[in-house]
Amino acid sequence: MNLKYRLLVFLLILGFQFSIAQHNIIPVPVNYEKSNGSFVFQDEIKFKTGNKEIKSLKSTQLFQNYLTNLGISSSFDKKAKGNFISIDLNKKKNSAIGKEGYILEVNDKSIALKANDPAGIFNGLQTLKQLIPIVNSRTIEIQSCKIVDYPRFAWRGLMLDVSRHFFTVDEIKSYLDKMSAYKFNVFHWHLTDDQGWRIEIKSYPKLTEVGAWRVERNGTFGEGRAAPKEGEKATYGGFYSQEQIKDIVRYAADRNITIVPEIDVPGHSMAVLAAYPELSVQKESKYVSPGNKFSEWYGDGTFKMLIENTLNPIDENVYDFIDKVFTEVAQLFPGDYIHMGGDEAYHGYWDENPEVQKFMKKHKIKNSHELQSYFVKRVEKIISSKGKKMIGWDEILEGGLADGAAVMSWRGMKGGIEAAKMGHEVVMTPTTYAYLDYMQGDVTVENKIYASLSLEKTYKFEPVPDEIEAKYVLGGQGNLWTEAVPTLQFAYYMTYPRAFAIAETLWSQKKDKNWDDFVRRTEENMIRFDREGDNIAKAVFDPIVTVYKNDDVVMCKLENNIPGTEIYYSIDNTYPVKFAKKYTDPFMIPAGNLKLHTQTFREGKPIGHELIINREDLVKRIKK
Ligand code: ACM
């Protein structure tokens, strides 16, 4: 064979292999083998099963509803010969796929889904939904294939903060629907914080009568929001009744999601103290924070609370309160874990209080970290007495970790590493890879927050650091704090597509992660969001603008991480940029009253935003 011919054969083989791997599933399955042919159906489909319970499984019914929305009617028919979907639980367990895994086979006559457990059936049906192409045609054609799939981690979570903004029962259900489609199985529900207490506790009614409501303020949290005025009515807020919580817990369970409720103590408790000020050290009356400034942050992680928001760790009434609250919480949530927060508890009011100091001396507690540790250990005993395991943010390591506590590492991975080395379970959720409240694109087009986290960086998240044993890492999660997220659709915008990246990190095999292929599948799933009328960020398409100085010359670099795109720009105030310059190399930003216009294109069509940045703002981006 001459060289040219050999090259052609090589390219053909490469192309063939690529087509084998081609599908749009997120998270990428462990094994996908494409085969010849396809399963075609139109208007109607039959289901078949060898297990009676399959028909009554919620996951099967949900899949049937999904088909109905596509205009396809479905019914069970044990005599169906061709053109059916069979769903079966393995009579003999297949140890290769565990509880949540499944095997899905598509050929030209039938689709067969098998799993060991209903959780696997649920996950397999999520994959099957993604195998149905996005077409506006009554004929549906699914490529023949065999998929063997199971998760890498048991804890695949998303956290939603419902205190800073309240989300209704229906909104929570929608959020659960979306996350379950990408095989997340833990919903960490941040139910309490300074800005609102959101769970009905029958033994402390004022928690919701008072603590769930704040005066209404708009605009960004912090300096711009005024404190409540004397006598001003608290009108913004809401809470979930215990009946509503039971309903949501069931709804989640039907979607293979366990809820981990978080009651954040001893800090982040201003809403508790608005209802029961006697549980603080100062016992002064408080209000539920409307997001006004009440703390000062010093840039190194230290801070001062200008208004007391911590529970009193030396007061037995506080432990009585915690016992009663966690009794009710434990009864409502059937999952193994209860989250007790523990983060960012300000110790200043403890340090300044003579009673607290006397108590510390008496009990040989050397400093406020040890005092918090004393508190956390008591909370751990309370939670374990309810038959639950305690998990808390990584501050619970400070002053000594409670036996049996699991740690949620958020200030990087170091807390998780330290806890795992001591033999504790950990969940990795570092700000650097998993904080979904951070901006995902250019500050000029995003809702401005103090930090950024791109989709590509999120995709690089690896929950098991080299220095610890993988068995201690339960998994990870993305966290959506909602100071700047007032609506469900904006919650989707902040969550997706970064949650796709997190889902893939937590479900898929590490070796199968591939950025370029992930982007291709992400784009397909963006179309699914668009079709459902839901918001998803497309910031990943936007140019990444870097400004630096070369001697005294201001230079600008443009890039993005999407294969097959071109970036166009102008610095002469002309637009649209399509008619300006195609970016090749860093260019000079001359002096003058000018703006950079820039946008990414694919095949001549703009994708993503046009960024427009004044010279003055460009210069501010130069790193000192
Ligand atoms: C946190 O972000 N305060 C856990």
The alpha carbon of 410 and the centre of ligand 1 are apart by a number of angstroms equal to 7
Closest atom, ligand 1, to C-alpha of 481: 2
Task: Give the residue-averaged pLDDT of 342-364.
Answer: 97
Residue 20, pLDDT score: 45
pLDDT at 13 over 50: no
| pLDDT-based confidence at residue 10 (cuts at 50, 70, 90) | very low
- Tell whether ligand 1 has an atom less than 6 A from the beta carbon of residue 343: yes
Q: What percent of the chain has pLDDT over 90?
A: 92
Q: Model confidence at 136, in pLDDT bands (50, 70, 90)?
A: confident
Listed residue (481, 485, 469, 467) closest to 410, CA to CA: 481
Reduced to 3 DSSP states, what percent helix, strand and coil does the chain have, rounded to the nearest 5?
35, 25, 40
Alpha carbon distance 7, 430 (integer Å): 45
Token pair for 559: 């890039």
Q: To test ligand 1's pocket by mutation, which of 344, 395, 397, 427 has the most ligand atoms within 8 angstroms of CB?
A: 344
Q: How far is the CA of 474 from the centre of ligand 1 (A)?
A: 19
Q: Is 240 in the pocket of ligand 1 (CB under 6 A)?
A: no
What distance lies between CA 263 and its chain's CA centroid?
18
- Alpha carbon dihedral 526, 530, 535, 536, in 10-degree steps, equals 10
pLDDT of 21 > 60? The answer is no
Q: What is the pLDDT of residues 37-64, one digit of tens each?
A: 999 999 999 999 999 899 999 999 999 9
Task: Mention every residue, 6+ apart, whose C-beta is less than 8 A from residue 150.
Answer: 30, 96, 97, 98, 100, 101, 102, 120
Does 410 contact ligand 1 (Cβ within 6 A)? yes
With a 6 A CB cut-off, is 500 part of the ligand 1 pocket? no
Is the pLDDT at 575 greater than 60? The verdict is yes
Domain at 22-149, CATH from 3.50.50.60, 3.20.20.70, 3.10.110.10, 3.30.379.10 = 3.30.379.10
Domain boundaries along the sequence of the chain: 22-149, 155-531, 542-620
Which pLDDT does position 435 carry in this prediction? 98
Which ligand 1 atom is the nearest neighbour of the CA of 479?
2
Identify the residue with better confidence: 80 or 613. 613
Q: Is 435 in the pocket of ligand 1 (CB under 6 A)?
A: no
Mutation pick for ligand 1 pocket among 159, 193, 393 (CB with most ligand atoms within 8 Å): 393
> Beta strands 84-89 and 44-48: pairing type?
parallel
The answer to whether residue 196 scores a pLDDT higher than 90 is yes
Q: Pairing mode, if any, of strands 553-559 and 544-550?
A: antiparallel
Opening angle at CA 48, ends 248 and 183, nearest 5: 35
* 438 CB near ligand 1 (under 6 Å): no
Tell me how far apart the alpha carbons of residues 197 and 192 are, in angstroms, rounded to a whole number: 5
CB atoms within 10 A of CB 520: 15
Is the pLDDT at 17 greater than 70? The verdict is no
Which residue do the tokens 């201001």 mark?
554
CATH annotation of 155-531: 3.20.20.80
Separation of 192 CA from ligand 1 center, angstroms? Answer: 13
| Residue 159 structure tokens | 């956290």
Reply yes or no on whether the pLDDT at 340 is more than 70: yes
Atom 1 of ligand 1, residue of closest alpha carbon:
343
**Dist. CA 580 → ligand 1 center (Å):** 44
Is the model's pLDDT at 347 over the cut of 90? yes
CA 130 to centroid of ligand 1, rounded, Å: 33
Catalytic-labelled residue, pool 105, 117, 193, 542: 193
**Looking at the chain, how many residues does it have?**
624
Phi-psi region of 223 (alpha: psi -120 to 50; beta: other; left: phi over 0): alpha
Taking alpha carbons only, the member of 340, 496, 483, 342 closest to residue 411 is: 342
CA 445 to ligand 1 centroid distance, Å: 25
Average pLDDT, the chain: 95
Q: Where are the beta strands (DSSP E) in 418-505?
A: 426-428, 473-480
- The candidate with the shortest Cα–Cα distance to 34, out of 139, 107, 102, is 107
**Can you name the residues that pair with 187 across neighbouring β-strands?**
158, 259
Atom nearest to 408 CA in ligand 1:
4
CB of residue 433 inside a 6 A radius of ligand 1: no
344 noted as active-site residue: yes
pLDDT of residue 1: 46
Q: How confident is the model at residue 300 (pLDDT cuts 50, 70, 90)?
A: confident
Instruction: Determine which residue's CA is closest to atom 3 belonging to ligand 1.
Output: 343
pLDDT of residue 19: 43
- CA of 431, closest atom in ligand 1: 2
Cβ atoms within 10 A of the Cβ of 323, count?
17
Cβ 393 under 6 angstroms from ligand 1:
yes
* Cis, peptide link before residue 576, omega less than 30° from 0: yes
Given the CA of residue 435, which atom of ligand 1 is nearest to it?
2
- Average pLDDT score over residue span 283-310: 94
Asked if the model's pLDDT at residue 3 lies above 70, the reply is: no
Atom 2 of ligand 1: nearest residue by CA position: 410
253 versus 136: the higher-pLDDT residue is 253
- Which of 262, 154, 191, 160 has its CA nearest to residue 479? 160
The angle subtended at Cα 425 by Cα 424 and Cα 431, nearest 5°, is 110
For 388-426, write each residue's pLDDT tens digit: 999 999 999 999 999 999 999 999 999 999 999 999 999
Annotated catalytic residue: which of 194, 262, 344, 442? Answer: 344
Q: Looking at residues 418-447, what average pLDDT do you find?
A: 98
Q: Using omega within 30 degrees of 0 as the cis cutoff, is the peptide bond preceding 27 cis?
A: yes
Q: Which of 19-28, 187-196, 238-247, 591-600 has the lowest mean pLDDT?
A: 19-28
Distance 266 CA to ligand 1 centre (A): 13
Distance of CA 412 to the CA centre of its chain: 16
pLDDT score for 4: 52
| C-alpha 343 to ligand 1 mean position (Å) | 6
Q: Is 467 in the active site? A: no
What is the pLDDT averaged over residues 483-487? 97
pLDDT band at 138 (very low <50, low <70, confident <90, very high): confident
- The answer to whether 232 is a known catalytic residue is no
The atom number, within ligand 1, closest to the CA of 410 reads 4
pLDDT of residue 11: 46
Q: Determine the average pLDDT of the residues in 94-103.
A: 98
Spacing, Cα 411 to ligand 1 middle (Å): 8
Task: Report the predicted TM-score, pTM, of the whole model to 2 decimal places.
Answer: 0.95
Q: Where are the alpha helices (DSSP H) in 363-413?
A: 368-385
Per-residue tokens: 240:
């979930």
- The pLDDT of residue 529 is above 90: yes
DSSP sequence for 84-128: EEEEEE-SS--TTTTTT-EEEEE-SSEEEEEESSHHHHHHHHHHH
Cα 417 to averaged position of ligand 1 atoms, centre (Å): 17
For 551, other C-beta atoms within 10 Å of its C-beta total 5
Check residue 2 and give its pLDDT.
54
Catalytic residue among 165, 188, 190, 268: 268
Distance CA 391, CA 470 (A): 18
DSSP β-bridge partners for residue 364: none
Whether ligand 1 lies within 6 angstroms of the CB of 344 is answered as: yes
Q: What's the CATH architecture for 542-620?
A: Sandwich (2.60)
